[in-house]
Amino acid sequence: MEEKKKLRSQEWYGRTGKDGFIYRSWMKNQGLPHHLFEGEKPVIGICNTWSEFTPCNAHFRDLAEALKKGIWEAGGFPLEFPVMSLGECSIKPTAMLFRNLASMDVEESIRANPMDGVVLMCGCDKTTPSLVMGAASVDLPTLVLSGGPMLVGRFKGKKIGTSDVWRFAEEFKMGKLSQQEFIEAEAAMSRSVGHCAPMGTASTMAAMVEALGLALPDNATIPAADSRRKVLAHMAGIRIVEMVKEDLRMSKILTRPAFENAIMVNAALGGSTNFILHLTAIAKRVGVDLDLTDFDTFSSKIPLIANVQPSGEHWVEDLFYAGGLPAVMKEIIHKLNHDSPTVTGKTLAENIAKAECYDRNLIGTFEKPIKPESGIAVLKGNLCPEGAVLKPSAASPHLLKHTGRAVVFENIDDYKAKIDDPNLDIDETCVMVMKNVGPKGYPGMPEVGNMGLPAKLLAKGIKDMVRISDGRMSGTGYGTVVLHVSPESAIGGPLAFVQNGDMIELDVPNRKLTLLISDAEMEKRRESFVPTSLPYERGYVNLFLDRVNQAHEGVDFDFLQGSSGSVVKRDSH
């Protein structure tokens, strides 16, 4: 007879004498009977990012109860624990500054505690990558449960969601929308639990984990307020217990083909550019070789299939009713790696075999897509030797090949001071350049890359201009926006050398971004470059500035790449 493998949690709870007493006794103050510690029931950690400061995840205590029912039903023993929760809309100076910190919290909490498997409860933008990164560096059987998108908002008879914030802001700037109307729109937009309603970064991340095989089918699209989200949680609870018995670890799922699938699916969805940073960081945690050009190579084969904002017209809620992510994936199944293993124990292709599309306004086909161009364009050139990115599906076709005069903002304060100055020497053919918003420069690489246009050009009816920075853009943002310029200006990347009046050539079809100055002039500017002093402080920000890597490397800390496994040799007493 095959010997049953001893559960990891028994290295704590299965002990005799003093150690066993210490590991069990205090746990029993929660009213837990002794038999739960005897090694028959896998301990499932529920890694919960619930926080009232993270409104997108504020319904997670409820959702965790549904998850626990499934875990109990399957013979597991659920224990919930909190980790650092990053709310995109509240955290200053930017939630991205703390993604790596949260991932460290997650990694050490999982490794240090007696659990056999873990469910990661993720919602708002950074809560998914931070949890997946941390868990990947431990490598237990792990399943991701997302919180689901909000119901679509309605304002003045029109459907609205986060991508309208940028439109409202422009209308407010032009005096077309009053402060009172703003306040009404705020409540109308956020009318239910859940994360942002468009295919912003949160839904992009929920789709990413589904495409990677880390989540159950439909994880990405069931609305947070739909009772089927609780059913999904219940089923996730059942499945994680089985995964522990099968020893289905993260490293068995997170293989190179799974990453390729995630890139292709992101293109089909017109997902967020933040996807690039987070997927790169996750790949480096598990030792999968993935570089920036892979994002272009694999996404260029895929048109836009989902008609969801900001690349399309509708909302993630609508996408669920139309068949959800499985139906989207089915349209590109001939491009995907069929055999990739997933948390269901089945392959990706098996998971989606029965998917159906119920609405062709929402889900196009490969032959008749919503837009022919999607995915991520990776640019190279003397302005971005390590790359820069642009999302063609969010850009204006007439600007994809454009040469214009640079109008330079030295940092975010300079931009805010000048942008609406009527005397600013700028017209719609210019290229707006912002420096010092990269990982170290800001610090934390904020979502300011889709900088708002000058009021005087908005008043003329101008909707888009070429904008370039070393920062990021919200997943709900749009425009002809070049992001993630690497290396960043604050450490002497060539973006730092751009001067007002220089000509810049953007050539997306040929994947080029060029500062039109001679090599000799570039060298001269490099030699006279005086680095801006980085905002070193004590504490975490100090660590961040010392150890963070660049955009093309995923903005992770150098010392967090790779995994330390799940074994802890020493006891606590």
Residue 88 interacts with ligand FES (CB under 6 A): yes or no: yes
Binder among 94, 128, 137, 162 for ligand FES (CB under 6 A) = 162
- In contact, 418 and 408? CB cutoff 8 Å: no
Contact partner at residue 561 from ligand FES, Mg ion, none, CB < 5 to 8 Å by partner kind: none
Task: Write phi, then psi, for 41 (nearest 5 degrees).
Answer: -110, 120
Binder among 7, 44, 56, 288 for ligand FES (CB under 6 A) = 56
CA separation for the pair 478, 26 (Å, rounded): 52
Residue 316 interacts with ligand FES (CB under 6 A): yes or no: no
The nearer residue to Mg ion, 161 or 454, going by C-beta atoms, is 161
Q: Which stretch binds ligand FES (CB under 6 A): 192-200, 263-271, 321-329, 563-571?
A: 192-200
Tokens, residue 513: 């971004």
CB of 124 to Mg ion, least distance (A): 8
Residue 342 interacts with Mg ion (CB under 5 A): yes or no: no
CA separation for the pair 80, 45 (Å, rounded): 6
**CA dihedral sign, ordered 457, 462, 466, 470:** positive
Contact partner at residue 103 from Mg ion, ligand FES, none, CB < 5 to 8 Å by partner kind: none
The nearer residue to ligand FES, 224 or 355, going by C-beta atoms, is 224
Contact partner at residue 549 from Mg ion, ligand FES, none, CB < 5 to 8 Å by partner kind: none
CB of 125 to ligand FES, least distance (A): 5
Nearest Cα neighbor of 45 from 71, 74, 11 is 71
Contact partner at residue 124 from ligand FES, Mg ion, none, CB < 5 to 8 Å by partner kind: ligand FES
Calculate Rg over the CA atoms of the chain.
24
Interaction with Mg ion in 276-335: which residues (CB under 5 A)?
none
CB of 168 to ligand FES, least distance (A): 15
Question: Site mask, Mg ion, residues 59-88, x = CB under 5 A?
Answer: -----------------------------x
Residue 486 interacts with Mg ion (CB under 5 A): yes or no: no
Buried-state track 95-110, b at ≥16 Cβ within 10 A, e below 16: bbbbbbbbbbbbbebb
Residue 164 interacts with Mg ion (CB under 5 A): yes or no: no
Strands 142-146 and 153-155: unpaired
| Neighbouring C-alpha atoms within 13 Å toward the C-beta of 284 | 21
Residue 268 C-alpha from the chain's centroid: 16
Contact partner at residue 244 from ligand FES, Mg ion, none, CB < 5 to 8 Å by partner kind: none
Contact partner at residue 59 from Mg ion, ligand FES, none, CB < 5 to 8 Å by partner kind: none
DSSP string, 181-208: HHHHHHHHHS-SSSB-SSSSHHHHHHHH
- SS3 of 97, please? helix
Q: Dihedral angle at the C-alpha atoms of 231, 236, 238, 241, nearest 10 degrees? A: -170
Q: Which stretch binds ligand FES (CB under 6 A): 99-107, 194-202, 206-214, 246-254?
A: 194-202
CA separation for the pair 515, 526 (Å, rounded): 14
CA separation for the pair 85, 553 (Å, rounded): 24
CB of 56 to ligand FES, least distance (A): 3
**Residue 69: count of CB within 10 angstroms of its CB:** 16
Q: Which residues contact 378 (CB under 8 A, 6 or more apart)?
A: 292, 293, 295, 296, 387, 388, 389, 511
- In contact, 376 and 267? CB cutoff 8 Å: yes
Binder among 89, 231, 458, 543 for ligand FES (CB under 6 A) = 89
Residue 195 interacts with ligand FES (CB under 6 A): yes or no: yes
DSSP string, 333-388: TTTS-TT-B-TTSSBHHHHHTT---S-TTTB--SSS-SBS--S-EEEBSTT-TT-E
The nearer residue to ligand FES, 86 or 232, going by C-beta atoms, is 86
Residue count at the site for ligand FES (CB under 6 A)? 10
Interaction with Mg ion in 173-212: which residues (CB under 5 A)?
201
Residue 310 C-alpha from the chain's centroid: 15
Question: Site mask, ligand FES, residues 101-140, x = CB under 6 A?
Answer: -----------------------xx---------------
H or E segment at 67? Answer: helix 60-73
Q: Which stretch binds ligand FES (CB under 6 A): 193-201, 415-423, 455-463, 523-531?
A: 193-201
CB of 52 to Mg ion, least distance (A): 19
Question: Site mask, ligand FES, residues 196-215, x = CB under 6 A?
Answer: x---x-x-------------
Residue count at the site for Mg ion (CB under 5 A)? 5
| Neighbouring C-alpha atoms within 13 Å toward the C-beta of 183 | 3
CB of 26 to ligand FES, least distance (A): 35
The nearer residue to ligand FES, 195 or 467, going by C-beta atoms, is 195
CB of 54 to ligand FES, least distance (A): 7
Question: Site mask, Mg ion, residues 108-147, x = CB under 5 A?
Answer: -----------------x----------------------
Residue 474 interacts with Mg ion (CB under 5 A): yes or no: yes
Per CB under 6 A, residues contacting ligand FES are: 56, 88-89, 124-125, 162, 195-196, 200, 202
Per CB under 5 A, residues contacting Mg ion are: 88, 125, 201, 474-475
